[in-house]
Structure 1
Amino acid sequence: MAPSGTQREGRDESPEERADRRWNELLQEVRVAQTGVQILFGFLLTVVFTPQFPKLGSTDRTIYVVTVLLGAATTGALVGPVSFHRLVTGHRLKPQTVAWASRLTLVGVVLLLATVASALYLVLRIAMHNAAVPWLVTGFVTWLVLCWFGLPTWARHRYAGKS
């Protein structure tokens, strides 16, 4: 209980309880991101086997390879928290595991942004063949940055210290 005259901030939980709660929250977030990445990466892997792939020019093939590599890196970063947890389970490292898994997840989200941007650029480049493509992709990436990073950062600063 907080001393009289002082207001206690946050939850009344032990460091272990906090780590457990944060781990469960992180797992839910990673599950959502992993599903999308797995679907996107799966589709990217099949493109090379389509009849149209040999007709792509060298620039489009390079963009495709970069996109696949970004998708693989994204998958690695978003699966990383699972393997990290599995390898350190039982060693009383839950708070550290949550911190590292959180970092890996954030890296995965940044890589997902790059993967989506690259895939969108490739698809629109092939579909539209015009100078509007970079502008469209830039607009879409700006939208994702605002949704994924801008709004949460604004909310964190806007509501910091308020209960």
Structure 2
Amino acid sequence: MHERNETPLERADRNFGELLQELRVTQTGVQFLFAFLLTLAFTPRFPSLDTTQRATYVTTLLLTVIAAALFTAPAAVHRMLFQLGAKRQIVRVSSRLAACGMGALVLALSGSVLLVVDVTVGRAGGIAAGAGTFCVCAGLWGVMPWLMRRELLRRDD
């Protein structure tokens, strides 16, 4: 690993700043998704959704709420532990919260695509589009970084 000339506290401060930048990007997407989902229930076509579509809608809405809660939790953790010398713990916990938020978000995005394509094209198309969305997000957010990390660690050894 390539070390920087910084103290552990400076590293924690930098890591927290980088994490907050990442959370700003993801939180905006979650807010748009949540707003979209909230408005769906008040559209004229919503009452015509079948039981599966309604279950997909409610599940996706709740996953979006969970993602939003996980992505905003680091701010609450930081606020509650502010000036207690816990920055390294804040960074560690916040990073885990963000990772869990990404997991909830991939499911929420997949469910949203499943619902919209199901309503517009049909169930089989919805399932295929939702599964495709899941695979793309899981690949870009999970598999690709894992492969990059593995390669970097192997190169540093």
C-alpha separation between the residues in 2 aligned to 1:17 and 1:155?
Answer: 25
Task: Give the alignment partner of residue 144 of structure 1, picking from 116, 137, 140.
Answer: 137
Q: Deviations over 1:45-70 (max 9, x none)?
A: 11111111111112211111111111
Among candidates 62, 68, 71, match of residue 61 of structure 2 = 68
Counterpart of 1:43 in structure 2 is: 36
Verify the 8 A CA contact 2:70 2:97 in the aligned structure 1.
Answer: yes
Structure whose residues are more often helix by fraction: 2
Is 1:25 aligned to residue 39 of structure 2? no
1:34 aligns with 2:27: yes
Provide the residue aligned with 1:135 in structure 2: 128
RMSD: 1.4
Report the CA distance between 1:137 and its aligned residue.
Answer: 2.2
Matching of residues 1-163 of structure 1 within 5 Å: 9-160=2-153, 162=155
Structure 2: distance between partners of 1:119 and 1:83: 28
**Mean Cα deviation higher: 136-145 or 20-29:** 136-145
Residue type of the partner of 1:104?
L
Identity %: 37
CA shift in 2, pair 1:25/1:136, >3 Å: same
The offset of 1:84, in angstroms, is 0.7
Instruction: Using the TM superposition, name which of 128-137 and 85-94 deviates more.
Output: 128-137
What secondary structure, in the 3-state scheme, does the structure 1 residue paired with 2:113 have? Answer: helix
Instruction: Give the length in aligned residue pairs.
Output: 156
Whole-angstrom CA distance in 1 between matches of 2:133 and 2:53? 20
Where does structure 1 lack aligned partners over 5 or more consecutive residues?
1-7
Q: Which amino acid aligns with 2:65?
A: A
For structure 2, the residue ranges without an aligned partner over 5 or more in a row are none
User: What is the TM-score normalised by the length of structure 2?
Assistant: 0.94
| 1:135 to partner: Cα distance | 2.4
- TM-superposed CA distance for 1:20, in Å, is 0.4
| Matched residue SS, 2:153 | coil
Contact 2:64/2:105, CA 8 A, preserved across alignment: yes
